[in-house]
């Protein structure tokens, strides 16, 4: 039976780098955030989001993600509503995706909010990627051309590293990418032998 390995970490921790490394080793990887973004182009989801958040999040009949992010990352109640619309769609998509890879011994499900969404319950093991706060902020500022303040808003809306680590089976400390990739490979050996 396929083992579902959850891979999580806060924004800018390097979890996507680790996920890509696992994929380069031939392991199927599902990146929940990417799939959620694609699902936001679904007309049914657009209609639901527009009904809740209004016209200001629509641009050229698509979701203006920046406008939506500004609304939800400053209002935990609205973030909860957004998640209640997106998470069931992602969960269904993941189940369909998983059926394609049922002959693989291990698959990786990468999700920033694996715990907050409750999808950790579907995982056999969980890996958390951590990185120092300043490094995370700097990475995201470069990557997303975002302000420090907006990044800290997002970080404050996610679980802390301590919370994630307390519920994880493995932890990758990402200070040096090469070291983090070595840690990932060590974890993979353990997973293959368990």
Q: Is 10 marked as binding a ligand?
A: no
* Residue 90 confidence (pLDDT): 93
In the predicted model, is pLDDT for residue 153 greater than 90? no
Q: Is 61 marked as binding a ligand?
A: no
Domain 3-193 in this protein, CATH class: alpha beta
Residue range 90-94: mean pLDDT, rounded? 93
Q: Is 99 marked as binding a ligand?
A: no
Cβ atoms of 102 and 93 within 8 Å: the answer is no
Q: Is 54 marked as binding a ligand?
A: no
Residue range 122-131: mean pLDDT, rounded? 96
58: confidence class by pLDDT, cuts 50, 70, 90: very high
Q: Is 14 marked as binding a ligand?
A: yes
In the predicted model, is pLDDT for residue 75 greater than 90? no
pTM above 0.75, yes or no: yes
Catalogue the E-assigned strands of the chain.
3-9, 29-31, 58-59, 62-63, 106-110, 125-130, 170-173
Q: Is 9 marked as binding a ligand?
A: no
């Amino acid at each position: 039976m396929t083992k579902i390995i959850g891979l999580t970490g806060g924004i800018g921790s390097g979890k996507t780098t680790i996920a890509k490394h696992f994929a380069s080793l031939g392991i199927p990887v599902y990146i929940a955030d990417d799939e959620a973004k694609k699902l936001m182009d679904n007309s049914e989801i657009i209609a639901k989001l527009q009904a809740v958040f209004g016209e200001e999040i629509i641009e050229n009949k698509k979701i203006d993600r920046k406008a939506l992010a500004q609304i939800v990352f400053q209002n935990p109640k609205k973030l909860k509503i957004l998640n209640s619309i997106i998470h069931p769609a992602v969960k269904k998509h993941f189940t369909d995706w998983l059926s394609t890879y049922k002959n693989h011994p291990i698959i990786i499900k990468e999700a920033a909010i694996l715990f907050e969404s409750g999808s950790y319950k579907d995982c056999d093991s969980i890996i958390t990627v951590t990185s120092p706060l300043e490094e995370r902020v700097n990475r995201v500022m470069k990557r997303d051309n975002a302000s420090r303040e907006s990044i800290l808003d997002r970080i404050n809306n996610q679980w802390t590293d301590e919370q994630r680590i307390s519920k994880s089976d493995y932890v990758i400390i990402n200070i040096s990418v090469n070291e983090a990739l070595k840690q990932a490979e060590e974890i993979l050996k353990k997973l293959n032998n368990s």
